[in-house]
Amino acid sequence: MQDFNSILQINSEQLLLVNSDDVKLWGGIYNYLAPNKTLVDRSGTITMPFNTVVYDDFKLPTLNYNFNKTFEDICLETAQRILNHQDTISKPIYLFYSGGIDSVTVLISFLKLLSLKEAANRISIIMTSDSIAEYPKMYNEIIRPNFHILSSDNVENFFDRRAILLTGGQGDKIFGTDNIGKIYRQGNFDQLGMAFSEKFITSFWISVGIPANSAKVWFRLIDEQIKNCGVHVYSNYDFLWWFNFLLEWQSEYFLFSLRSRHPLSVDYYQNYMFAFFNTIDHQLWSINNLDKKIKNTWSSYKFIAKNFIYSYNQDASYRDNKIKGPSLNRLFHSRKTPMGIDCNFNMFESIKIGSIYNDKNSFS
């Protein structure tokens, strides 16, 4: 049954047309974000002007500053759980591979647990020609000689329970945001390590098109949320990571399922579709390791993941020089998708905006 009282994911483009002061303050952030993203506060602190809910699996985990698992340990444990699940339901794994840092990390996690032959028997690679260009060495030496390769051209057909669909989803959310690259190109990279300030954050947001009044309101809301939540956020980099980690987690996950031409259900999400970095342990690692996401150069972004990759293939060039690119776009570009997903996991093509508008929100 369609339920428009609350939404898990919605393309916000039409919502931005609502002519009210609160929606304008809220919507200013979309001069910086793609309108297909749905900002949902996983802590339940910030109320948006439109009724969105947090999927139970995506609620912000309880803070635990005694957590001490390593990134490698978590990746290997995650891969092993997926393999155990595969043994239970007897389906192949289809890995969406772009050649970017996140998807390579996923593949390496399995290769550290399995022989190359066994990994190739259990996993097929979904990719494009761009995936080859992004990491030619990995394709030529590991993937092409060993793995069954599928084209992503018909990605919408893969959601039919023939396989476990696996992405490198949530990788950017645990490491930060690729918008750090914009700050690098602006020549302000050295300020990322400084104590976060309204001046720096709002100035950056304004530089990418967000109206000043909207930028200030968003900064205030996130600043208050950080203080109320008690999370350790110190630098400008930490602040931008937390924005991404807190508000965009759910959207990244459900944007993938919007590609499906098949109706999906809770059972499907729990058994046939996984974002590799969508685990409590990866989130707790992210919260506890602010110093392991980037060093003092843009090319060091995700260095801990690149070190993990290097420990398997000894590719120093990829480790030292690979920078974040728009990998997901390469796999899913030009895909027409439904407008959104309601809280019963039904997709919809249109909606009466008034049915989800909430005037008692944090922007009013």
Q: Which residue has the tokens 């840092």?
A: 101
Q: Is the pLDDT of residue 283 over 70?
A: yes
Tell me the pLDDT tens digit for each residue of 73-113.
999 999 999 999 999 999 999 999 999 999 999 999 999 99
Going from the C-alpha of 292 to that of each of 149, 173, 287, the distances in angstroms are 33, 14, 10
Please report which confidence band the pLDDT of residue 331 belongs to, taking 50, 70 and 90 as the band edges: low
Domain ranges of the chain: 7-64+187-249+336-355, 71-173+266-332
Direct distance between the N- and C-terminal alpha carbons of the chain, in angstroms, rounded to an integer: 31
Please report which confidence band the pLDDT of residue 2 belongs to, taking 50, 70 and 90 as the band edges: low
Tell me the pLDDT tens digit for each residue of 300-322.
999 999 999 999 999 999 999 99
Asked if 147 and 125 count as a contact pair (C-beta separation under 8 A), the reply is yes
Kindly give the interhelix angle for 236-247 and 280-288, rounded to the nearest 10 degrees.
Answer: 160
Q: Is the pLDDT of residue 39 over 90?
A: yes
Q: Which residues 6+ apart lie within 8 Å of 263 measured at CB?
A: 346, 347
pTM, full prediction: 0.94
Tokens representing 361 are 């929100």
Q: In terms of CATH architecture, what is 71-173+266-332? A: 3-Layer(aba) Sandwich (3.40)
CA–CA gap between residue 343 and residue 2 (Å, rounded):
9
Instruction: Annotate 109-172 with DSSP letters as a single string.
Output: HHHHHS-HHHHHHHEEEEE-HHHHHH-HHHIIIIIHHHSEEEEGGGGGGG-SSSSEEEE-TTHH
CA count, 13 A, side-chain hemisphere, 80:
8
The whole-number average pLDDT for the span 123-149 is 95
